[in-house]
Amino acid sequence: MSATQVATTVDLIIEEYPYMKTDDFKLCFKNAMKMKYGNIYNRIDGQVIMSWLREYNKERCAVADNQSWNFHKENLSEEVGYTSGLSYEEYRNELKLRVEQGDEEAAKALSLSNEIISYLNKREYGKQEAEGDNLLEH
């Protein structure tokens, strides 16, 4: 390769693979020397080097995806193990039990919950009445 071809190839590599580190290039060229990316046929030019890097990058991305997926699965299973949420009805039943045992904070929370349910029921009933009125008009 001429100096111009080397410079052009280096520019292409920097443009295409700015995220690669020195170790990535070392491993890629070591794999190429082992003919992992095919035979060279006594020809090394920018096209050959770029094809090596393309193949190496595919392998690199596949490994990274696999590691990321495995990490995600591990974290997901840990999260599922820690969360055993309650439905709203179960929460209210728990509050009622705590109120019976004299828990004042539970009494406040249950009172607030009752107010919210009452408000939502009134809103829903108001919507139903309005819809009924609209149906009667037509």
**The whole model's pTM is what?**
0.53
Of 82, 104, 129, the last residue of a domain is 82
Position 40 scores a pLDDT of 79
Mean of per-residue pLDDT scores for the chain: 86
In this structure, the answer to whether residues 75 and 117 fall within a common structural domain is: no
In this structure, the answer to whether residues 23 and 67 fall within a common structural domain is: yes
In this structure, the answer to whether residues 108 and 40 fall within a common structural domain is: no
In this structure, the answer to whether residues 20 and 72 fall within a common structural domain is: yes
Position 80 scores a pLDDT of 60
Question: Could you give the CA distance from residue 70 to residue 65 in angstroms, rounded to a whole number?
Answer: 9
Domain extent for 119 = 88-137
In this structure, the answer to whether residues 71 and 101 fall within a common structural domain is: no
Position 10 scores a pLDDT of 95
Position 137 scores a pLDDT of 55
Position 107 scores a pLDDT of 92
Position 132 scores a pLDDT of 54
- Total domains in the chain come to 2
Name, in order, each residue with C-beta under 8 angstroms of 56's C-beta and a sequence gap of 6 or more. Answer: 24, 27, 28, 31, 37
Of 63, 82, 101, the last residue of a domain is 82
Q: Which residues of the chain carry a pLDDT beneath 70? A: 77-84, 126-138
Contact 13, 53 (CB under 8 A): yes
Position 82 scores a pLDDT of 54
